[in-house]
Structure 1
């Protein structure tokens, strides 16, 4: 039987950086993430369009569970006012496991810092494929590195 049910994993983490600073890195300067977290992200390049613009296509070379992977994403939704964005994978390793894969990021100011909410929506290719917890964990690890980078005075 074909398995095609949309599933979702999500998590949130408290960071010290401002919502605007953190969002700015992911939305407008994702290419800097390779310098901030080189053990996780090897390179981020814009293929079509420009950084931070809806419809732009960005490709990520990253390390996932010890394997070098590639993901090409289209920036589907950019909401700078609310520090939100949606990225849909259109090519890459993740589509070997999932029919569709979308990452949603929202950063909300809280106290002296902010809260980062990551939500990943996907459809598994087959029943036995694991949920996207390891990819969610990768986003958390990278988020913590970005926070450390931003709060140590490197802007």
Structure 2
């Protein structure tokens, strides 16, 4: 029987936690410009950038395949630099009954720690854990960090 599972990782960045969080929460559309080799487009379909309940679609390259994903912004905690996205349509739901991303950015004296949690429920036990998606958000985080810290 399928059950809720999660994979998570930390990415150390040079940029401040507030700047990093701002891109993911309020200026998400910039990610396609920052990481065009993997993120082809990020568009808002309902609501406004940086608001709960907004619906965002992503077109991206994952493991050599062009994919689509539509997410709803489920929760925003600005004071904690935290945002939750729930996948509501797209390729991921072919393999998973549910799929959520949580981003939590913790400022440090120099830079920040970007903590990603991917929470999911597999359609069946033969489906692999989504380490490829976790790797994609790590690469995305590194690209955003490099973009925000370039001279």
TM-score normalised to structure 1 length:
0.96
Aligned-partner SS, 1:136: helix
Q: Distance in 2 between matches of 1:55 and 1:64?
A: 26
What is the aligned counterpart of 2:60 among 38, 59, 62?
A: 62
Q: How many residues align?
A: 151
- Distance, in Å, in 2 between the alignment partners of 1:17 and 1:101 is 28
Q: Helix, strand or coil: the match of 1:127? A: coil
Pick from 131, 134, 144 the counterpart of residue 132 of structure 2.
134
**After TM superposition, where is structure 1 displaced by more than 2 Å over at least 4 residues in a row?**
none
Q: 2:149 pairs with 142, 145, 151, which one? A: 151
Please give the per-residue CA displacement for 1:36-65, whole angstroms capped at 9, x wherever unaligned. Answer: 000110000000000000000000001100
**Structure 1: how far apart are the matches of 2:74 and 2:101?**
10
1:62-97 deviation per Cα after TM superposition (whole angstroms, max 9, x unaligned): 110010100000000001111000000000000001
Q: Deviations over 1:90-123 (max 9, x none)?
A: 0000000100000000000112100000000000
* Cα deviation, residue 13, structure 1: 1.2
Q: Counterpart in 1 of 2:10?
A: 12
Q: Distance in 2 between matches of 1:91 and 1:4?
A: 20
Tell me, in whole angstroms, the C-alpha distance in 1 between the residues paired with 2:149 and 2:23: 13
Q: Secondary structure at the match of 1:142?
A: helix
* Residue 19 of structure 2 is aligned to residue 21 of structure 1: yes
TM-score using structure 2 length:
0.98
- Offset, 1:4: 2.1
SS of the equivalent of 2:7 reads: strand
* Alpha-carbon distance in 1 for matches of 2:60, 2:103: 18
Q: CA RMSD in A?
A: 0.6
> 1:40-119 to 2 correspondence within 5 Å?
40-119=38-117
